[in-house]
Structure formats: structure tokens, C-alpha cells
Amino acid sequence: MELVKKKATTQSNLDNLNAGKTTMGTLFKNSGDAGTLANTVEATEREIVQMSQLKDLVTIYLGEKIIPTFKREKLELYGSVTQQFHVLEINNASQVANFWSSLLQNPMIKQSSNE
């Protein structure tokens, strides 16, 4: 976006310079600077094309390499966390069952339930 803005500003300055208009961008420039401005416009256009190509390459790379790896790693982590959670829940359930079993084995509880 900044490159497009830079190109538009430079092109506007070049057009104003060629038309003989004086603006803040062309205040200290003369007609001899038109070539420099034209070169800047061309260089900026090339840079815009190169940045667009780079963006496309990065998008392809992310889509083919990085995102699938990230997704796989996150799914593995989720599976591991879920498995650990299940183990903890099974241990908790076992401890609760042992507690109630030991409570029911208490002679006072047995006696009160028989009455």
C-alpha cells in the first residue's frame, strides 16, 4: 500500500513538474529532475510487482508447509492433553470409588445400615 502511495505521489509530482506547476513536491525541482522522478516511478512499479510476487510466494509457502505442520502439531498437542485429562479423570473416579468402598467397610456404617 505504501509503495502504491509512493508511486502515485511521485507520478503526481512528475506530472506537475512536466506541466510547469509548482507544488510542495516540486518546489525545489526543475525540469532536469523529471528523469529522476520517472526513474523513481519505474523503480517503484518494479518494486510493487516484486512485492506482489513475494506475497504470492509467501502465501503458497504458508499454505503448503507452515499451516499443515502447525495444524498437525496442534492436533497432536490436543490429543496429548485430552489423553492426560482422561487419565486424571479415571484416577479421580477410582479414588472416589475407593473412598466410598472404605466408608462402607466402616463397622459403624455397616451397623447403622443393618438396623
CA distance 97 to 102: 9
Q: Please report the pLDDT score of residue 106 as a whole number.
A: 83
Taking residue 10's Cβ as centre, other Cβ atoms within 10 Å add up to: 20
Q: Please report the pLDDT score of residue 21 as a whole number.
A: 61
Residue among 3, 25, 4 nearest 15 (CA): 25
Mean pLDDT of the chain: 83
Residue among 17, 56, 54 nearest 36 (CA): 17
Per-residue pLDDT tens over the stretch 61-112: 999 999 999 999 999 999 999 999 999 999 999 999 999 998 888 888 777 7
Report the 3 state secondary structure along 49-85. HHHHHHHHHHHHHHHHHHHHHHHHHHHHHHHHHHHHH
Whether the full predicted model's pTM is greater than 0.85, yes or no, is no
